[in-house]
Structure 1
Amino acid sequence: MKIAFIIPSLANQGPVIVVKDLINELIKKVDHIDVYYFDENPELKLACTTTRISFREKIKFDDYDIIHTHMLRPDLYIWYHSKSVNRAKCVSTLHQDIFQNLKSSYNFLIAAIFEKIWIESLKSKQAIVTLTHTMRNQYAKKIKVSKLHTIYNGRPFFQFDELKEIDEMDKKEIIKLKKKYKIIGISALLTKRKGIAQIIMALPYLNDFALIVIGNGKEKDNLVKLAANLKISHKILFLGYRLEAIRYFKFFDFYAMSSYSEGFPLSLLEAGNASLPTLCSNIPIFKELFSKNEVSFFELDDVKSLVNSIINLEKNSEMFSQNIYKKVNKLYSVNNMSENYLLLYEKMLK
């Protein structure tokens, strides 16, 4: 079996990380893999040949059995060149709630327009993968149900001693904070959709807790101002973007997923792999992936609920730590993910 993956770039971002993990497993099981991408920002190295292309440039589509696209431009690319694809079977993975993600990044009008365009482009594919059943049910209203398949993301298991040490200056700042407080950690692109302001608003009621935020984004300035207005800047460390943010997880006592919407958060799997007691917003996707004995849920935009949820995490930290680790290692491994994709590819070729 020969597979081509088409992605927007080689940036260190969720969908590309998923492709990297998938390739690392599939390359042992298939004949050949190539990756094509559009933007020149090669942060990640992949275990196969990678080629930069332009949108109008045709690759040799029918040299491949499977063409697997991720994100908008690659989906539009296959749609644009659909008349040149004869033998290869095309599959796309939807990594997010399209409308909510675009609305958060742009506005309602842009989200509404581009969701329609994106979904129209998906109709040229033989299969569309959703990351959860919640997402599948949502798109079943807009895409032919027989084309929809659910495959959970997975991440490689790791040991902290296998990872590189963090920057020494970061380490000093973190240790200084840990001497006074228990640390809640977050690693995310800083957008309103991630709901991090909720955690900051709860901190004044949590005397023993501080927050470390890894990541950049257009919401960062607002979060910094909010912390200053609440007079809790001394309890929050904004580290900015860090490559391999997972290296910092060993300094956290707890992890927070405060999102208003999500596709399938890789950092949540990494927190589970690190045995971190984790706080989650009470949204359908998180409730599908984990039970109330595996993560501590809170109601969106309810500070009291969030505070109580963190107290619950602290009180039952050993239970949450063990249960989330077991769940992630059992269901959300990179091996499970790759096996499920391979089964889908084989089914498409039959």
Structure 2
Amino acid sequence: MKIMVEIIQHLKPGGIEKLVFDIMRLQESNIEVYIVALEGEKSVCLAHWPILKRYQERLIFLDKQPGFKLVTVRRLRKVLMSLDTNIIHTHHIGPLLYGVMATLRLTNIQHIHTEHDTWHLLDNKQLQMTKLMLRLNHITLVADAETVGIQLSQVLGRSVAPVTILNGIDTEKFSPSLNHKRYKYRARVFRIGCAARLVTEKSLDILIKAVADIPNVELYIAGDGPEKQNLTNLVQELDLSTKVKFIGYTDDMVGFYHQLDLFVLTSSNEGLPLSILEAQSCNVPVVCSDVGAVHEGVCKQTGHLIKLNTVNEFHVAIKAQMKRSSEHLPRNFITKHFDIRMMIKAYNQLIKE
């Protein structure tokens, strides 16, 4: 039995967090997975994400406070040694830094690091820190999309050749609804959805404005975050309270997708987001801004990519999608390329004997 520890910044519901949770939940029987969150407390996390309660014995929280904390390095090192860890898997720069420092001179621990986007590396401090960490330890670098891999080589240097392992979702869990009636133009309300953290880079103000003048449409936004009040104010200013609904965080994302006719993502920065994979796995077509590696995760027969992230572009695309009818099913594209079981097998092939 090998012990793998997934190290993440925090364990709040989000793309990376759901990914590592599924890795823990669906990992092969010869590998036991633990999750270490640098920040946060277990009781608070379980209160906000109840499904984790059944796995709480494999969840470890270091309660790191803001800024770099050497005590967190010591705590992490102690955790890894007590678990007799064979592999650590880090995500993004914070966990990379702490993972490297906690395993210095521990040659028996393999380090796999996944980058989910590269826009944070535009910050020179983060770029230089990442380069340094990759030099200090022998790390297997993974990109979660082809585009991310190319960008990593460009910013980190041509000598850096990350392995590409596409993000995956549980396609058995995210399956189509048998009761969903296909939308026929103007036959009923057209339901649009978006699931995202309510932060500025998701550009949800563009989505709200884009649907404002489209009749017979309802918009449902799942998620929470610091921009909620600003977005709520915008909805009130535009007199859209009957058209735009904020449903907050939901533990039933499958049920959320089953209500939709279209999923829309207006982000200004992304890697390869899980939400568009989940929606399409439920046979919900998507309209997305063409940023990061989003284009890799959009079914070309049923989806639409927006080159210019403007209100008018999304307005036009949504209206066109309402009239569109396709014999193709986006789920076929997702099950072929983005099933998490394929992703887990690809990661396991990187593990040293």
Provide the TM-score with structure 2 as the length reference: 0.80
CA distance in 2, matches of 1:36, 1:202: 40
CA distance in 2, matches of 1:154, 1:67: 19
Note if contact 2:195-2:222 (Cα within 8 Å) is conserved in structure 1: yes
What residue is the counterpart of 2:333 in the other structure? 327
Shift of 1:341: 0.6
What residue is the counterpart of 1:173 in the other structure? none
CA distance in 2, matches of 1:140, 1:252: 38
Deviations 1:15-43 (A, max 9, x none): 12111212233232x24433333321243
Shift of 1:146: 4.6
What are the equivalent positions in structure 2 for 1:154-165 lying under 5 Å apart?
A: 154-158=168-172
Letter in 2 for 1:138: Q
Letter in 2 for 1:330: K
Deviations 1:64-97 (A, max 9, x none): 3322112333211122234232122111111233
What residue is the counterpart of 2:164 in the other structure? 150
Note if contact 2:3-2:32 (Cα within 8 Å) is conserved in structure 1: yes
**Is residue 2:104 matched to residue 1:92?**
no
Letter in 2 for 1:14: G
Shift of 1:48: 6.8
CA distance in 1, matches of 2:313, 2:10: 39
Which secondary structure does the structure 1 equivalent of 2:315 belong to? Answer: helix
**Is residue 2:188 matched to residue 1:187?**
no
**Is residue 2:132 matched to residue 1:120?**
yes
Which secondary structure does the structure 2 equivalent of 1:135 belong to? Answer: helix
Note if contact 1:299-1:306 (Cα within 8 Å) is conserved in structure 2: no
Note if contact 1:33-1:48 (Cα within 8 Å) is conserved in structure 2: no
Deviations 1:287-344 (A, max 9, x none): 223353231222333333222211232222444xx43111111111011111111112
Structure 1: gaps (5+ residues): 101-107, 164-177
What residue is the counterpart of 1:25 in the other structure? 26
CA distance in 2, matches of 1:232, 1:12: 27
What residue is the counterpart of 2:250 in the other structure? 242
Q: 1:246 to 1:180 in 2, by over 3 A?
A: same
Shift of 1:7: 2.5
CA distance in 2, matches of 1:291, 1:274: 13
CA distance in 1, matches of 2:175, 2:168: 21
What residue is the counterpart of 1:140 in the other structure? 153
Query: In proportion to residue count, which structure has more helix?
Result: 1
Letter in 2 for 1:96: D
Shift of 1:194: 1.0
Letter in 2 for 1:150: T
Letter in 1 for 2:19: V
Which secondary structure does the structure 2 equivalent of 1:211 belong to? Answer: strand
| Structure 2 counterpart of 1:78, from 99, 120, 123 | 99
What residue is the counterpart of 2:35 in the other structure? 35
Letter in 2 for 1:35: I
CA distance in 2, matches of 1:86, 1:216: 41
Which secondary structure does the structure 2 equivalent of 1:210 belong to? Answer: strand
What residue is the counterpart of 1:204 in the other structure? 212
Which secondary structure does the structure 1 equivalent of 2:242 belong to? Answer: helix
CA distance in 1, matches of 2:175, 2:272: 26
CA distance in 2, matches of 1:276, 1:193: 23
What residue is the counterpart of 1:172 in the other structure? none
CA distance in 2, matches of 1:180, 1:242: 25
Which secondary structure does the structure 2 equivalent of 1:226 belong to? Answer: helix
What residue is the counterpart of 1:256 in the other structure? 264
**Is residue 2:328 matched to residue 1:341?**
no
Count how many residue pairs are aligned between Structure 1 and Structure 2: 321
Q: 1:125 to 1:52 in 2, by over 3 A?
A: farther
Note if contact 2:174-2:278 (Cα within 8 Å) is conserved in structure 1: no
CA distance in 1, matches of 2:279, 2:85: 36
What residue is the counterpart of 2:69 in the other structure? none
Please give the root-mean-square deviation of Cα atoms over the aligned residues, in Å.
2.9
Note if contact 2:173-2:254 (Cα within 8 Å) is conserved in structure 1: no
Q: Which moved more, 1:40-49 or 1:124-133?
A: 40-49
